[in-house]
Amino acid sequence: MSGPYVIRGSVSLPEAELMWRFSRSGGPGGQHVNTSDSQVELRFDLANTEALPPVWKERALEKLAGRLVDGVVSVRSSEHRSQWRNRETAAVRLASLLAEATAPPPRPRRPTRIPRGINERRLREKKARSETKRGRTGRDWG
């Protein structure tokens, strides 16, 4: 493994709290795929972890509520032929998922008013366009 997977700032995934499970990948691959457990499932107990600050943990539990099974988030990877690369991919995917879920909410939008001059110009242009189109009626052409 290539070391700690940083979620954000100085907070990273604790290696001791990661639960790995390996199984055979489906799909093509010849005889090799029938003998090697290259698919990786990485599980992380989000509800009972002490690695995340309490505020982050609350946010993540709220945002990932649909993905959690008994407070555990699970990520699966099977796109590579080697187990090691699938482990890397799964860990990076979990770290980015947690980074996104623990991110603070965006700042609320401050409503702004449209400047009066811009609104008046828009109405003038609409009126001019309307006059142009009204002048195209065939009443005057005898």
Domain assignments of the chain as residue spans, ordered by start: 6-102
- What average pLDDT does the chain have? 85
What dotted CATH number matches 6-102?
3.30.160.20
Distance, in Å, from the CA atom of 78 to the CA atom of 19, rounded to the nearest integer, reads: 16
Q: Is 107 or 79 the better-scoring residue by pLDDT? A: 107
Mean pLDDT, rounded, for 69-96: 88
Q: Are 41 and 23 in contact (CB under 8 A)?
A: yes
Q: 3-class DSSP state for residue 28?
A: coil
What DSSP assignment string belongs to 89-103?
HHHHHHHHHHHHHHS
Residue 69 DSSP class: B
Confidence of residue 63 (pLDDT cuts 50, 70, 90): confident
Confidence of residue 35 (pLDDT cuts 50, 70, 90): confident
- Residues, the chain: 142
Residue 50 DSSP class: S
